[in-house]
Amino acid sequence: MTSRVEVLARLREALGDRVDTTEDSLEAARADKSGHAASGRPIAVVRARSVEDVQATLRIASATATPVVTRGAGTGLAGGANAGDGEIVLSTRAMDRILEVRPDDLLAVVEPGIINADLNHALADHGLWWAPDPASRAISTVGGNIATGAGGLLCAKYGVVRDAVLGVDLVLADGRLLHLGHRSVKGVTGLDLTSLVIGSEGTLGVIVGATLALRRLIPGEVRTLTATFPDVRAAAAASAAVTASGVQPAIMELMDAASLAAAHSLLKLPRPRSGAAQLTVQTDGPAATGEADAIAELLRAAGGIVAIAHDAAEGEQLLTIRRSMHPAMETLGTTLIEDVAVPRSALPAMFDEIARIEREYGITIPTVAHAGDGNLHPNFVFEGKDVPPQIWDAAGDLFRAALRLGGTLTGEHGIGVLKRRWLADELGDDQWQLQRDIAKVFDPAGILNPGKVFAP
């Protein structure tokens, strides 16, 4: 087995100053926004500036059987990019160029390290945008968005990452470069390997480029409203009624009482009524006003107290409350931020399950939801760095409840290291093994992101 010293020497010889071994960099690479940290220290952080840097790193890793963890901005919430003892961290954050924008074809070609919000700021000059908008859009990379299959507040109307990527450039574990997908609107030649890579969390290869499907900026106005309900079940039932009505909001976000109170406290806003839950809804386009009025009537009929923003600026202020969820949770303690999804009609039943779990385990689980698509983010708050066994038991109970309701373990955060023990519960043993076998075709030696996703 090749020693750490020899691996490091080979990296430095090939990559020079791109190899970072400073204490702060190695420590930072152990953790992400989930609060989970890997054991031990990685060998080095390789700060790749080009596809050739990535290829050189992987050839050395393959030749020396050294594990590699690909990392973007480190904003993940499942431990998927955490690097530990004896691993090389391959950072693509410095690969942040926009290589091409084609307004006529509604596509852009970008490197993986570009920040989501920075991309959209640049595209706005062309009258275009890339639709996926995770809550971390101001700090997360497009490559990371693709690797985790990210979603966001607008995905109920405009789709998730999987709907907005035409192709990816992928470097395999042995350094070979593949160009997957196409630039055309349609393309069904062979197996859809692009979709296979989306959401693969660094287990199949390293994304070094992406061809993105863009949209034109939405004409017309934006209308935003909030509706306050006496409890979270009533709010969930109201959101399901909006979905069933056929009116399609661009955003429909739900905050339960605990999360709403925490966000108000963080932002120094008046404390909400005890037990109150809130829906925040936004409509856009030429029909925005009519759709907002129709949704407001539905929410009033469901028992909500509705307030409509007077203008776009006030509407953004209302959305700021929802976007403040993660920092608000950090004020309460260490947080295990989870991510399940259920059919939208099952949202009230899922909140019933969360209430049951809170009672049975004697804990509070502040929860927000992308109510427009049934994606919930329950937050398990505890003291200390390590997740207590009771919290894991409660989380496992919650995961199984989501599966019973026809849902899934993760809507957008990924499996990473935190959910791998439950993966077979959703997939079944045969599919779990098949997916492991597929990963081995891409990475026969198992050096890419080991211990994540498919690990027993």
Q: What is the pLDDT of residue 456?
A: 66
Q: What is the pLDDT of residue 400?
A: 96
Q: What is the pLDDT of residue 433?
A: 94
3-state secondary structure of 113: coil
d(CA 308, CA 51): 49
**Is residue 451 over pLDDT 90?**
no
**Is residue 136 over pLDDT 90?**
no
The Cα-based distances of 97 to 49, 50, 115, 453 in angstroms read 10, 10, 10, 29
d(CA 65, CA 51): 21
Q: What is the pLDDT of residue 40?
A: 92
The DSSP result for 1-29, as a single string, is: ---HHHHHHHHHHHHGGGEE--HHHHHHT
3-state secondary structure of 332: coil
**Is residue 429 over pLDDT 90?**
yes
Break the chain down into helix, strand, coil percent, rounded to 5: 40, 20, 40
The Cα-based distances of 253 to 26, 157, 304 in angstroms read 37, 13, 14
d(CA 359, CA 87): 42
Tokens of 294: 């129709």
Cβ-count burial 36-57 (b if 16+ within 10 Å, e if not): bbbeebbbbbbbbbebebbbbb
Q: What is the pLDDT of residue 140?
A: 95
3-state secondary structure of 442: helix
Assigned CATH for 98-216? 3.30.465.10
**Is residue 32 over pLDDT 90?**
no
The DSSP result for 238-286, as a single string, is: HHHHHHHHT---SEEEEE-HHHHHHHHHHTTPPPPPTT-EEEEEEEEET
- Kind of pairing, strands 340-341 and 68-71? unpaired
d(CA 157, CA 341): 16
Higher pLDDT, 108 or 78: 108
Cβ-count burial 214-231 (b if 16+ within 10 Å, e if not): beeeeeebbbbbbbbbbb
- Cβ distance 124 to 142 under 8 Å? no
Q: C-alpha dihedral over 131, 240, 238, 278, to 10 degrees?
A: -40
What is the pTM assigned to this prediction?
0.91
Q: C-alpha dihedral over 179, 185, 191, 192, to 10 degrees?
A: 70
d(CA 360, CA 337): 20
**Is residue 1 over pLDDT 70?**
no
Enumerate the CATH 3.30.465.10 domain ranges in the chain, comma separated: 98-216
DSSP 161: G
* Average pLDDT, integer, range 70-79: 89
What average pLDDT is seen over the chain? 94
pLDDT in tens, 237-254: 999 999 999 999 999 999
Give Cβ neighbours of residue 428 (< 8 Å, ≥ 6 apart): none
Enumerate the CATH 3.40.462.40 domain ranges in the chain, comma separated: 221-404
d(CA 344, CA 350): 10
Candidates 412, 422, 353; CA nearest to 132 is: 412
pLDDT in tens, 217-241: 988 889 999 999 999 999 999 999 9
d(CA 416, CA 310): 42
**Is residue 417 over pLDDT 70?**
yes
pLDDT in tens, 262-272: 999 999 999 99
Q: What is the pLDDT of residue 431?
A: 95
Does the domain made of 221-404 have the CATH classification 3.40.462.40? yes
**Is residue 35 over pLDDT 80?**
no
Give Cβ neighbours of residue 385 (< 8 Å, ≥ 6 apart): 35, 37, 334
Enumerate the CATH 3.30.43.10 domain ranges in the chain, comma separated: 4-91
* Average pLDDT, integer, range 12-33: 95
pLDDT in tens, 284-335: 999 999 999 999 999 999 999 999 998 888 998 889 999 898 889 989 888 8
Give Cβ neighbours of residue 159 (< 8 Å, ≥ 6 apart): 131, 132
* Average pLDDT, integer, range 26-35: 88
Architecture in CATH of 4-91 = 2-Layer Sandwich (3.30)
**Is residue 146 over pLDDT 90?**
yes
d(CA 128, CA 118): 13
Phi, psi of 160 (to 5 degrees): -105, -175
The Cα-based distances of 421 to 214, 340, 409, 416 in angstroms read 36, 15, 11, 10
